[in-house]
Structure 1
Protein backbone atom coordinates (compact mmCIF):
# COMPACT_ATOMS: atom_id res chain seq x y z
CA UNK A 1 0.00 0.00 0.00
CA UNK A 2 1.34 3.46 -0.92
CA UNK A 3 1.98 5.91 1.89
CA UNK A 4 -0.55 8.71 1.30
CA UNK A 5 1.92 11.35 2.56
CA UNK A 6 4.16 10.54 -0.40
CA UNK A 7 1.30 10.93 -2.88
CA UNK A 8 0.25 14.35 -1.56
CA UNK A 9 3.62 15.87 -0.64
CA UNK A 10 3.65 19.30 -2.32
CA UNK A 11 7.39 19.62 -1.68
CA UNK A 12 8.30 16.41 -3.50
CA UNK A 13 9.83 16.94 -6.95
CA UNK A 14 7.90 14.97 -9.53
CA UNK A 15 7.79 17.07 -12.72
CA UNK A 16 10.59 17.21 -15.25
CA UNK A 17 11.72 20.63 -16.43
CA UNK A 18 9.79 20.58 -19.71
CA UNK A 19 6.55 19.53 -18.00
CA UNK A 20 7.02 22.14 -15.26
CA UNK A 21 7.68 24.84 -17.85
CA UNK A 22 4.55 23.88 -19.75
CA UNK A 23 2.41 23.80 -16.59
CA UNK A 24 3.38 27.37 -15.67
CA UNK A 25 3.58 28.73 -19.22
CA UNK A 26 7.29 29.50 -19.22
CA UNK A 27 10.23 28.56 -21.38
CA UNK A 28 12.66 25.90 -20.15
CA UNK A 29 15.65 28.33 -20.25
CA UNK A 30 13.70 30.68 -17.96
CA UNK A 31 13.43 27.98 -15.31
CA UNK A 32 17.18 27.40 -15.51
CA UNK A 33 17.79 31.15 -15.23
CA UNK A 34 15.59 31.47 -12.15
CA UNK A 35 17.44 28.59 -10.55
CA UNK A 36 20.78 30.26 -11.32
CA UNK A 37 19.52 33.38 -9.51
CA UNK A 38 18.61 31.24 -6.50
CA UNK A 39 14.88 31.91 -6.89
CA UNK A 40 14.09 28.20 -6.56
CA UNK A 41 15.93 24.96 -6.04
CA UNK A 42 14.23 21.95 -7.60
CA UNK A 43 14.99 18.45 -6.40
CA UNK A 44 17.52 16.43 -8.39
CA UNK A 45 17.54 12.78 -9.27
CA UNK A 46 20.73 10.82 -8.53
CA UNK A 47 21.66 11.47 -12.18
CA UNK A 48 21.19 15.24 -11.77
CA UNK A 49 17.84 15.65 -13.58
CA UNK A 50 15.73 18.48 -12.18
CA UNK A 51 12.42 17.51 -10.58
CA UNK A 52 9.93 20.27 -9.78
CA UNK A 53 7.36 20.03 -7.00
CA UNK A 54 3.92 21.57 -6.65
CA UNK A 55 5.56 24.15 -4.36
CA UNK A 56 8.12 24.93 -7.07
CA UNK A 57 5.32 25.48 -9.59
CA UNK A 58 3.62 27.90 -7.22
CA UNK A 59 6.93 29.71 -6.76
CA UNK A 60 7.31 29.98 -10.55
CA UNK A 61 3.81 31.47 -10.76
CA UNK A 62 4.80 34.04 -8.12
CA UNK A 63 7.93 34.88 -10.13
CA UNK A 64 5.83 35.33 -13.28
CA UNK A 65 3.43 37.63 -11.44
CA UNK A 66 6.28 39.79 -10.15
CA UNK A 67 7.91 39.92 -13.58
CA UNK A 68 4.61 41.05 -15.09
CA UNK A 69 4.55 43.78 -12.44
CA UNK A 70 7.90 45.06 -13.69
CA UNK A 71 10.14 43.69 -10.94
CA UNK A 72 13.59 42.52 -12.04
CA UNK A 73 15.15 39.23 -10.90
CA UNK A 74 17.20 40.81 -8.14
CA UNK A 75 14.09 42.51 -6.79
CA UNK A 76 12.15 39.26 -7.02
CA UNK A 77 14.84 37.53 -4.99
CA UNK A 78 14.55 40.17 -2.28
CA UNK A 79 10.74 40.04 -2.25
CA UNK A 80 10.65 36.25 -2.00
CA UNK A 81 13.19 36.27 0.83
CA UNK A 82 11.12 38.87 2.71
CA UNK A 83 7.95 36.83 2.22
CA UNK A 84 9.66 33.75 3.62
CA UNK A 85 10.98 35.71 6.60
CA UNK A 86 7.53 37.18 7.27
CA UNK A 87 6.00 33.70 7.16
CA UNK A 88 8.66 32.41 9.57
CA UNK A 89 8.05 35.32 11.97
CA UNK A 90 4.30 34.78 11.76
CA UNK A 91 4.72 31.10 12.69
CA UNK A 92 7.00 32.09 15.57
CA UNK A 93 4.51 34.69 16.83
CA UNK A 94 1.69 32.14 16.75
CA UNK A 95 3.84 29.61 18.57
CA UNK A 96 4.72 32.11 21.27
CA UNK A 97 1.12 33.27 21.73
CA UNK A 98 -0.28 29.74 22.04
CA UNK A 99 -0.90 28.70 25.67
CA UNK A 100 0.60 25.40 26.77
CA UNK A 101 3.87 23.65 26.03
CA UNK A 102 6.11 25.71 23.76
CA UNK A 103 4.25 28.99 24.31
CA UNK A 104 3.30 30.89 27.45
CA UNK A 105 0.39 32.82 25.93
CA UNK A 106 1.64 36.10 27.34
Structure 2
Protein backbone atom coordinates (compact mmCIF):
# COMPACT_ATOMS: atom_id res chain seq x y z
CA UNK A 1 0.00 0.00 0.00
CA UNK A 2 1.32 3.44 -0.94
CA UNK A 3 1.78 5.62 2.16
CA UNK A 4 1.11 8.78 0.13
CA UNK A 5 -2.17 7.65 -1.48
CA UNK A 6 -5.02 9.99 -0.40
CA UNK A 7 -7.46 7.44 1.00
CA UNK A 8 -9.14 8.68 4.15
CA UNK A 9 -11.92 11.24 4.56
CA UNK A 10 -11.49 13.64 7.47
CA UNK A 11 -13.75 11.63 9.82
CA UNK A 12 -11.78 8.42 9.24
CA UNK A 13 -8.41 10.16 9.51
CA UNK A 14 -9.52 11.85 12.75
CA UNK A 15 -10.55 8.51 14.19
CA UNK A 16 -7.26 6.86 13.15
CA UNK A 17 -5.27 9.75 14.65
CA UNK A 18 -7.49 9.78 17.77
CA UNK A 19 -8.34 13.46 17.26
CA UNK A 20 -11.40 15.57 16.63
CA UNK A 21 -12.04 16.46 12.94
CA UNK A 22 -11.94 20.15 13.85
CA UNK A 23 -8.37 19.67 15.10
CA UNK A 24 -7.42 18.27 11.70
CA UNK A 25 -8.96 21.31 10.01
CA UNK A 26 -6.97 23.60 12.30
CA UNK A 27 -3.73 21.74 11.56
CA UNK A 28 -4.49 22.05 7.84
CA UNK A 29 -4.98 25.83 8.19
CA UNK A 30 -1.70 26.09 10.13
CA UNK A 31 0.13 24.01 7.52
CA UNK A 32 1.11 21.22 9.92
CA UNK A 33 -0.60 18.57 7.79
CA UNK A 34 -1.73 19.36 4.26
CA UNK A 35 -4.02 16.64 2.95
CA UNK A 36 -4.90 16.20 -0.72
CA UNK A 37 -8.17 17.59 -2.02
CA UNK A 38 -10.81 15.96 -4.18
CA UNK A 39 -12.44 17.75 -7.11
CA UNK A 40 -15.16 18.84 -4.66
CA UNK A 41 -12.47 20.33 -2.33
CA UNK A 42 -12.97 17.81 0.48
CA UNK A 43 -9.86 16.65 2.32
CA UNK A 44 -8.32 13.23 1.72
CA UNK A 45 -5.65 12.06 4.14
CA UNK A 46 -2.93 9.54 3.38
CA UNK A 47 -1.44 7.03 5.77
CA UNK A 48 1.63 9.31 6.01
CA UNK A 49 -0.69 12.21 7.00
CA UNK A 50 -2.23 10.08 9.76
CA UNK A 51 1.21 9.12 11.04
CA UNK A 52 2.18 12.80 11.03
CA UNK A 53 -0.99 13.67 12.99
CA UNK A 54 -0.04 11.10 15.59
CA UNK A 55 3.48 12.57 15.76
CA UNK A 56 1.96 16.04 16.29
CA UNK A 57 -0.13 14.66 19.15
CA UNK A 58 2.94 13.03 20.72
CA UNK A 59 5.03 16.19 20.47
CA UNK A 60 2.16 18.30 21.82
CA UNK A 61 1.80 15.98 24.81
CA UNK A 62 5.48 16.64 25.56
CA UNK A 63 4.73 20.36 25.84
CA UNK A 64 6.04 21.54 22.46
CA UNK A 65 4.14 24.47 20.95
CA UNK A 66 2.44 24.21 17.55
CA UNK A 67 5.09 26.50 16.02
CA UNK A 68 7.80 24.27 17.47
CA UNK A 69 6.05 21.20 16.09
CA UNK A 70 5.75 22.87 12.67
CA UNK A 71 9.49 23.55 12.66
CA UNK A 72 10.37 20.02 13.80
CA UNK A 73 8.18 18.50 11.08
CA UNK A 74 9.69 20.83 8.47
CA UNK A 75 13.21 19.79 9.46
CA UNK A 76 12.27 16.10 9.48
CA UNK A 77 10.80 16.44 5.98
CA UNK A 78 13.95 18.17 4.72
CA UNK A 79 16.07 15.47 6.36
CA UNK A 80 13.99 12.76 4.69
CA UNK A 81 14.32 14.46 1.28
CA UNK A 82 18.09 14.77 1.69
CA UNK A 83 18.42 11.13 2.74
CA UNK A 84 16.41 10.11 -0.33
CA UNK A 85 18.63 12.24 -2.57
CA UNK A 86 21.76 10.68 -1.04
CA UNK A 87 20.39 7.20 -1.78
CA UNK A 88 19.72 8.25 -5.40
CA UNK A 89 23.24 9.63 -5.81
CA UNK A 90 24.83 6.57 -4.18
CA UNK A 91 22.90 4.34 -6.55
CA UNK A 92 23.94 6.44 -9.57
CA UNK A 93 27.57 6.35 -8.41
CA UNK A 94 27.46 2.58 -7.91
CA UNK A 95 25.99 2.15 -11.40
CA UNK A 96 28.69 4.39 -12.87
CA UNK A 97 31.44 2.49 -11.08
CA UNK A 98 30.08 -0.81 -12.39
CA UNK A 99 29.77 0.51 -15.94
CA UNK A 100 33.21 2.21 -16.01
CA UNK A 101 35.63 0.51 -13.65
CA UNK A 102 38.94 2.35 -13.27
CA UNK A 103 38.17 5.17 -15.69
CA UNK A 104 37.90 8.13 -13.37
CA UNK A 105 40.03 9.22 -10.47
CA UNK A 106 39.69 12.61 -8.82
CA UNK A 107 41.73 14.62 -6.36
CA UNK A 108 41.38 18.02 -4.74
CA UNK A 109 43.44 20.81 -6.26
CA UNK A 110 45.28 23.47 -4.25
CA UNK A 111 42.39 25.92 -4.65
CA UNK A 112 39.81 23.33 -3.61
CA UNK A 113 38.88 22.51 -7.21
CA UNK A 114 38.37 18.97 -8.49
CA UNK A 115 41.24 17.61 -10.58
CA UNK A 116 40.79 14.58 -12.83
CA UNK A 117 43.69 12.11 -12.81
CA UNK A 118 44.47 9.15 -15.01
CA UNK A 119 43.95 5.77 -13.42
CA UNK A 120 47.04 4.76 -11.46
CA UNK A 121 48.34 8.33 -11.10
CA UNK A 122 48.80 10.08 -7.79
CA UNK A 123 48.15 13.70 -7.03
CA UNK A 124 51.27 15.85 -6.79
CA UNK A 125 51.86 17.02 -3.25
CA UNK A 126 53.55 20.27 -2.48
CA UNK A 127 56.38 19.83 -0.02
CA UNK A 128 57.67 23.37 0.48
CA UNK A 129 57.28 25.04 3.86
CA UNK A 130 55.45 28.35 4.15
CA UNK A 131 56.21 30.60 7.12
CA UNK A 132 53.52 33.03 8.09
CA UNK A 133 54.10 35.95 10.37
CA UNK A 134 51.23 38.04 11.61
CA UNK A 135 51.40 41.81 11.70
CA UNK A 136 53.09 43.10 14.81
CA UNK A 137 52.10 46.36 16.34
Report the TM-score when normalising by structure 1: 0.80
- Name structure 1 gaps, 5 residues minimum: 1-7
Partner of 2:4: 11
Partner Cα distance (2:40, 2:88) in 1: 40
Out of 17, 21, 27, which is 1:28 matched to? 21
Q: Map 1:52-63 to 2 at 5 A.
A: 52-63=45-56
Distance 1:14 1:97, change over 3 A: closer
- 1:91 to 2:91 alignment: no
- Name structure 2 gaps, 5 residues minimum: 97-103, 107-137
| Superposition deviation, residue 14 in structure 1 | 1.4
Partner Cα distance (1:97, 1:45) in 2: 37
| Superposition deviation, residue 86 in structure 1 | 1.3
| Superposition deviation, residue 85 in structure 1 | 1.2
Distance 1:97 1:11, change over 3 A: closer
Q: Which aligned runs of 4 or more in structure 1 are off by greater than 4 angstroms? A: none
| Superposition deviation, residue 100 in structure 1 | 2.2
> Which protein has greater RCO, CA pairs closer than 8 Å, 6+ apart?
1
Aligned Cα RMSD in Å? Answer: 2.1
Larger radius of gyration: 2
Per residue, is there more strand in 1 or in 2?
2
Distance 1:86 1:51, change over 3 A: same
Report the TM-score when normalising by structure 2: 0.64
User: Aligned residue pairs: how many?
Assistant: 97
Partner Cα distance (2:3, 2:83) in 1: 21
